């Protein structure tokens, strides 16, 4: 019965994350319609994407601090209702200013809800399945990218850009009901505000957050411009690129789940293996894209590895955060978004310099920096006799605890 309750909780959290994740990039495919309807340029309409991202990066930690003493179940329901309100404002917005307001309102719940979902997920499974629980919840985002965003864009093309936001409003309300039905009741956390701040400023936690931001920026440097790369260099048609991106999304889903299971066995080996694989793949991208078969292989491998960082990196944060994880996990969620934004800027500068083909080299360098940072977050220790020992996997329950 306890296992069934745990599975129901994970399913509810994953479904809710799917709804939230769909909202983040949905509007990117609807910008021309938004601009025409609200009488702004496409470039101005694109600020709605930026506003959401900034809301996640800045608002997530702020919301985590403001809600740190609230009961977890009530907070989850409240955050989903806040998201529903933002979606409803966006759907009904008569002006671009109100659309921005709706996007910011939704974004405020994004990082805080995901952080809450990840922490809750690890509490309803045995300690040795922490990585799998994180990956299960995070898969809501990969499915959102794979299905939610393109389906929302299709709905927007057929029924207008407001329709997907109206559907998101309904789905978020349904997710709220599901959370109310299955989430276990928990007492309000006993941790104080200063404890949350003290945890997030600890060296291992800050290094783990930096690893997330730097490492994920390597993926974003290439992926942000993957469509023009495949069309302009590899010679694929736009339709073929759409199919490849679908395959990329499917690979991301598989890679995330697989990394969760591997994290249960060895967090350090998984995170280093993923970053090493990313560095190698990104390094080969500029050479692989000149021939279509190798370009396809590079896209598929990149998809498998891109989201495989989520489970081990979030596991790192949870391991070092101890009894005060909410702010730290929320900040790490923001670090993924910050990394995506930084990677887009770096890739954009390379593309503007006429070096579209070579974005992979910058991505590989960033992934290597991320790999190097993992050795600071998960350093090897020595026994009293000087023999090297493996890094702690306390979270997975397999190796001796690390001293930090």
Domain locations in the chain? Answer: 1-190, 192-380+389-404
Structure confidence at residue 6 (pLDDT): 76
The C-alpha atoms of residue 113 and residue 116 are separated, in whole angstroms, by: 5
Structure confidence at residue 84 (pLDDT): 95
Q: Which residues of 9-33 are buried (b: 16+ CB within 10 A; e: fewer)?
A: bbebbbbbbbbbbbbbbbbebbbeb
Structure confidence at residue 189 (pLDDT): 65
CA nearest to 288, candidates 346, 342, 236, 352: 236
Enter the tokens of residue 266: 């060895």
3-state secondary structure of 259: helix
Looking at the chain, the number of H-run helices and the number of E-run strands are 18, 2
The CATH classification number of 1-190 equals 1.20.1250.20
3-state secondary structure of 403: coil
Q: For residues 140 and 22, is the Cβ–Cβ distance under 8 A?
A: no
Mutual orientation of helices 193-200 and 310-321 as an angle, nearest 10°? 130
Task: For the chain, list residues with pLDDT below 50.
Answer: 1, 381-404
3-state secondary structure of 112: helix
State the distance between the two ends of the chain, measured CA to CA, in whole angstroms: 38
pTM: 0.78
The CATH classification number of 192-380+389-404 equals 1.20.1250.20
Structure confidence at residue 323 (pLDDT): 65
Q: CA 366, 293, 281 angle in degrees (round to 5)?
A: 15
Structure confidence at residue 310 (pLDDT): 85
Same fold, 1-190 and 192-380+389-404: yes
Structure confidence at residue 292 (pLDDT): 93
DSSP-assigned letters across all residues of 332-356:
HHHHHHHHHHHHHHHHHHHHHTT-G
Q: For residues 236 and 230, is the Cβ–Cβ distance under 8 A?
A: yes
Structure confidence at residue 331 (pLDDT): 83
**Residue pLDDT, tens place only, 257-290:** 999 889 888 888 898 999 999 999 999 999 999 9
């Amino acid at each position: 019965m306890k296992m069934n309750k745990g599975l129901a909780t994970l399913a509810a959290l994953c479904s809710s994350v799917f709804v939230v994740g769909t909202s983040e990039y949905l509007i990117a495919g609807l910008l021309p319609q938004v601009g025409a309807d609200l009488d702004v340029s496409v470039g101005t309409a694109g600020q709605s994407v930026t506003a959401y991202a900034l809301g996640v990066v800045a608002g997530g930690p702020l919301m985590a601090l403001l809600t740190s003493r609230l009961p977890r179940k009530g907070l989850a329901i409240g955050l989903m209702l806040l998201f529903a309100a933002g979606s409803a404002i966006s759907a009904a917005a008569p002006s671009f200013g109100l659309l921005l307001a709706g996007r910011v309102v939704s974004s405020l719940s994004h990082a805080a809800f995901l952080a809450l979902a990840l922490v809750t997920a690890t509490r309803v499974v045995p300690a040795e399945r922490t990585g799998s629980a994180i990956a299960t919840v995070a898969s809501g985002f990969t499915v959102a990218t794979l299905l939610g965003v393109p389906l929302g864009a299709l709905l927007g093309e057929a029924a207008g850009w407001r329709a997907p936001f109206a559907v998101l409003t309904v789905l978020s309300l349904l997710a709220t009901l599901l959370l109310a039905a299955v989430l276990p009741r928990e007492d309000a956390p006993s941790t104080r505000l200063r404890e949350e701040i003290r945890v997030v400023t600890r060296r291992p936690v800050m290094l783990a957050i930096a690893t997330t931001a730097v490492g994920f920026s390597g993926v974003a440097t290439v992926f942000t411009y993957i469509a023009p790369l495949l069309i302009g260099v590899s010679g694929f048609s736009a339709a073929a690129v759409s199919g490849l991106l679908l395959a990329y999304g499917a690979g991301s889903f598989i890679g995330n789940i697989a990394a969760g299971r591997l994290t249960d066995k060895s967090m350090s080996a998984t995170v280093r293996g993923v970053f090493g694989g990313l560095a190698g793949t990104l390094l080969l991208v500029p050479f692989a894209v000149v021939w279509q078969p190798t370009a396809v292989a590079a896209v598929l491998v990149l998809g498998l590895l891109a989201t495989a960082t989520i489970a081990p990196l979030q596991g790192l944060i949870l391991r070092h955060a101890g009894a005060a994880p909410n702010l730290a996990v929320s900040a790490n969620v923001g670090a993924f978004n910050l990394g995506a934004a930084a990677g887009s800027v770096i890739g954009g500068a390379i593309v503007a310099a006429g070096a579209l083909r070579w974005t992979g080299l910058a991505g590989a360098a960033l992934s290597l920096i991320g790999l190097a940072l993992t050795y600071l977050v998960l350093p090897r220790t020595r026994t009293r006799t000087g023999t090297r020992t493996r890094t702690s996997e306390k979270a997975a329950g397999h190796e001796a605890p690390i001293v930090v």
